Amino acid sequence: MPNRLAGETSPYLQQHADNPVAWHPWGEEALALARAEDKPILLSIGYSACHWCHVMAHESFEDEAVAAIMNRLFVNIKVDREERPDLDQIYQTAHQMLTQRAGGWPLTMFLTPAGAPFFGGTYFPKSPRYGLPGFADLLERVAQTYSEKRAEIEAQNASLLEALADSLPRPGAATGFDAGPLTALREMLGRSFDAQHGGFGAAPKFPHPTDLAFLLRRAGDEAGREMALTTLRRMAEGGIYDQLGGGFCRYSTDAEWSIPHFEKMLYDNGPLLALYADAWAATGEPLFRAVAEQTAAWLMREMQAPADSNEGGYYSALDADSEGVEGKFYVWTREEISALLSPEEYALVARHWGLDDPANFEGTEGMEGTHWHLRVTAPLSGNTAALLEPIRARLFAARKTRIHPGRDEKILTSWNALAIQGMAHAARIFNRPDWLESARRALEFIRTRLWRKDRLLATSKDGRAHLDAYLDDHAFLLAALLELMQAEYRGEDMEFALALADALLENFEDSEQGGFFFTRHDHEALIHRPKPGHDNATPAGNGVAAVALQRLALLSGDARYAAAAERTLRLFQPQFARQPGGYATLLEALEEWLTPPRLVVLRGPTREVSGWQTRLAALNPPNTLTLALPNPLAGLPAALDKPVSDQVNAWVCSGVSCLAPVKHWPELVRILEAEDFG
């Protein structure tokens, strides 16, 4: 019989609905049961595309004997970390404090009925191995500890809750902002940069889009920009990038970007798409354009609800596994490829994709023989590169006939916002109306289905939207709207942006200490209420909020937004001044506080304004916001409401100061390329 997860919207929870474990979703019913029966809680947090989550499920949660122990000794709660990032943040932090080790997924935590954790880990095997105890034995020992050592657990809980409270940022002495943290982050990234393979540090390697964006926008720092460009090149040539279908996997298991964990996450690909667009604008390299085009095509083809559906959002993730084997969908034997190609074509791709080298995907359980995961070992150029496209298409068509990895089709507001921002940014730089339309479809789904009476919701699946949205949902969506307005200004987008900004200030800001809590003021009471400032796989909500609010203040003229952003910077200043690593998004806000972006407003006849906008987007000037406002637009904020004209006029503004309107394109280019305003 299905357990209590059968009615949930999360595909991850639904994957466990037929387990013999008496799973509960997180909620008052499960917590009340634990209190009433005085049982500890076994909290398991994961996500649908997670390989080791599947392994633990197959080994333990589907096993009748293990499930019987779990049901006898614990109240068992299953959480999708993507729907409940609030719980994931809290218990990942608690795990690190208890074990002094990094967390991950699956996260396995044992809690008191009050929700305080007293023991935990990540993946536990069914039988002892990898230096880990067997899960069934562990369950018995944890339950015995809970029964016999209550006083010690209560003392540990008190210390843990105090440590969690102490982890909140606190503003330091009021001092002025300076560029010191920016210099320190640049130096830190330089020390950890892998000059041969790109990226930072050793394996495993993650893309870190926020750090790459920080380096890429550093005008005048050619060495820093080259670190970003080298990393983007090596990633594009590696196996972390899908050489046939486009899009990036979550991370590489090796330092060379060759073999990834194969799940493809929406949250990675939106920011990376924007980065590859910027890299192309900076260099004109065909590789960057190809990756941007292929990734945008993948997002629209495989990750967006069909145009004929009632939805328009982007789905969350593709699984790492197919047919129970990680990576099986993506890898090839030499025989499979040679059967599809002529001898001349095979010789070309064997050299290009490393088929002449030893197999790089050997010994995988559930797959016979040796396999190759495609990555570029010998780049092609000129006419030879053109020969690759029909070969890619043929192999891609053959791969489509395989059993595909599962797709998590829930639509998350925050991750959609990252994809919308990336698609809109790339659409503007490459002048791709189809990409912009894709981004607008996703935005309209959020606006019509997840924005309810000025209250934003976090997730939707199968027509059911629920869960109050978090800081990231609001901040990322505000940033996405600002990008959409630069691609194509619409008054309703400005209205939505202002409403979201007001919701941030009203429902999330700490007006006394500064910064934004991750959850609303009226959210359910949990053991901790974080204020995240550190970038992780996604940028920090406080950093994105600070950047977006400063920019919205520039466009709207409303100083409240800039003041909230400044309070956020002051709150986190002691942290990013002491250790800037991981604070790239907040440091972007600091950069723009120190040197506010220039605002370029184009006004004039629609066709001519559009032409200037296209050329300006390809130029992609740094630290510049551009809005194209054809004459017919009305009802503009005062900061944008420039006079109409029978020819294009460009107003270049910094703060409240604007130059005289520019009527000639070469003069605008000269102004934008000058180091000093004016």
> What is the pLDDT at residue 677?
60
C-alpha closest to that of 622 among 663, 575, 645, 588: 588
Q: Maximum distance among all alpha carbons in the chain?
A: 84
396-402 — which CB contacts under 8 Å span 24+ positions?
396/244, 396/245, 398/336, 398/340, 399/244, 399/245, 399/329, 399/330, 402/322, 402/328, 402/329
> What is the pLDDT at residue 240?
98
> What is the pLDDT at residue 305?
96
Query: Span 180-320+408-594: which CATH code?
Result: 1.50.10.10
| Buried-exposed string 239-277: b where 16+ CB fall within 10 A, e elsewhere | bbbbbbbbbbbbbbbbbbbbbbbbbbbbbbbbbbbbbbb
> What is the pLDDT at residue 676?
66
CA atoms within 13 A on the CB side of 643: 6
Secondary structure letter of residue 332 according to DSSP: B
> What is the pLDDT at residue 675?
65
Ranges under pLDDT 70 in the chain = 363-364, 675-678
**According to the 3-state scheme, what is the secondary structure of 533-545?**
CCCCCCCCHHHHH
Where exactly are the structural domains of the chain? Answer: 11-166, 180-320+408-594, 330-401, 598-673
Its CATH architecture, for the domain 11-166, is 3-Layer(aba) Sandwich (3.40)
pTM of the model: 0.97
Q: Show the tokens assigned to 513.
A: 């200490």
> What is the pLDDT at residue 1?
72
3-class state of residue 428 by DSSP? helix
